[in-house]
Amino acid sequence: MKHLLRLVQSSAPSTSVQFRKSAYGRRGVQEFLRDVLAMANASVDGSRYIITGVQFDDKGRKCLYPVAADDFEDRPAYQTLVNDHIEPPLKINYQPVLIDGERIGVFEIGDCQDRPYMMRIDFSETLRRGDAYARINDTSMKLGRRQLQTLFERQFSNSVSATNVEIGFPGNIIHKSRKLATQSLRQLPSLLASEKLNELIEAKTRVQASAGNTMMARLTHARLFGSDVPYEDRSTEEIRAEIQQLERRYRDHDEQFLFTEKHTDLQLVILNQGGESIHDAALNLVMPTHHELYIATCLPKVFEAEKFIERTAEEQADYPSVTLRDNQVQVCARFAEIPAGELINVFTLPLRVCVGEALKGRRLGIQYKLLARNLRAPAAGTLRLLLT
């Protein structure tokens, strides 16, 4: 306790010490997780500290802002939050320190030897699985792919050779290519709805051009949508505006069609042919984008009793981490251990893929890179999908 008191009294903001005016509490969980990640990934030796209830004024003097006693009584449970959201495992210790009769809080984060530390699951739209931060001087910065790769390569060196690692598609042997059947997407719900509305626009346009009554438009509406759907006298501009909203309106229906009815499961395997297990590994895949290449970013909702039902968090946690970019699709899988001499599946649940007929006869490359704590260098290469 005395060393924490001396730390609070003598320290200034630095790479290993952060000061914060107020406790995190239940409303500051996202900031807490981000700050812990940044501290854990900081390029320093030994323990790191976050001190709550202390702020510096304009003249550089420390001002105390007492922390409530119940913040130290698992309200919230800070260690549990770290266990649930951050990997690899990270130990923190949070305790009160009294200065001039005022209670402040000190988080002590132990010596962090397994960098990079990353989000294990999504917390919010802005703090997602795979995100990582690092504290540099007195600022927290989000880590990009290059910085993460540097951390992995620095940490995971001088052990297993990448030539002992084989990655590919499963089969009697490990394949570097796989045939994938394309699908007709003409029955995609949003596409069908768009076609109907465009046909209705054409009928209304013909009525206007002939200065006739609306009977043709009514008959077209009844043929397209059925007599149970009442006719509405809408302008072509209103119908075009509705077309713009179809992708959002039919999202659940489209995902049911693409990733439940028409999808193909895509699994990969890893074989560690060395004599030593590979530890704390991350496999990153990069694929090109195309308007008829659909890859599920999560499991689709289940359609039951005429409605769509969300999957449980446990189900979604088993699905691969997929991120869609403007010109590429990124997939990430992580492993605590890849045992020596064993063939393992990359994904707990296979990747769900649906490919339209516009890509028939094409080849799609999948760039892969495996980083691990005890790989001398990343195991990298290219796999191919042969679209038939």
Is the same domain home to 217 and 296? no
Q: Rounded distance, CA 311 to CA 260, Å?
A: 13
**CA distances from residue 346 to 258, 276, 332 in whole angstroms, order as listed:** 22, 19, 10
State the average pLDDT for the chain.
86
Does residue 302 carry a pLDDT above 60?
A: yes
Is the same domain home to 23 and 147? yes
Domain assignment of residue 255, yes or no = no
For residue 350, what are the domain limits? 162-185+262-387
For the chain, report the end-to-end CA distance as a whole number of angstroms. 68
pLDDT at 335: 93
The torsion of the CA quartet 371, 372, 375, 378, rounded to 10 degrees, works out to 0
Is the same domain home to 64 and 125? yes
Is the same domain home to 290 and 359? yes
Decide: helix, strand or coil at residue 129: coil
Q: What percent of the chain has pLDDT over 90?
A: 52
Confidence tier at 211 by pLDDT (50, 70, 90): very low
Contact present, 332 and 320 (Cβ < 8 Å): yes
Is the same domain home to 149 and 293? no
Q: Rounded distance, CA 339 to CA 318, Å?
A: 20
Decide: helix, strand or coil at residue 19: strand
Contact present, 269 and 169 (Cβ < 8 Å): yes
Contact present, 132 and 144 (Cβ < 8 Å): no
Is the same domain home to 325 and 289? yes
Cα 109 to chain center, whole Å? 25
Domain assignment of residue 46, yes or no = yes
Instruction: State the total domains in the chain.
Output: 3
**CATH number for position 44:** 3.30.950
H helix runs in the chain, sequence order:
2-10, 29-40, 78-85, 145-155, 189-210, 215-225, 236-244, 246-249, 251-256, 313-317
Domain assignment of residue 270, yes or no = yes
Domain assignment of residue 256, yes or no = no
Does residue 304 carry a pLDDT above 50?
A: yes
Is the same domain home to 228 and 286? no
pLDDT at 233: 57
Contact present, 304 and 236 (Cβ < 8 Å): no
Is the same domain home to 268 and 366? yes
Domain stop point among 250, 273, 289 = 250
Domain assignment of residue 65, yes or no = yes
Tell me which residue has tokens 């890859």.
295
Is the same domain home to 309 and 173? yes
Q: Which of 82-86, 151-155, 207-211, 373-377 has the highest mean pLDDT?
A: 82-86
* pLDDT digit string, tens, across residues 36-58: 999 999 988 889 999 999 999 88
Does residue 85 carry a pLDDT above 70?
A: yes
Q: Rounded distance, CA 220 to CA 362, Å?
A: 39
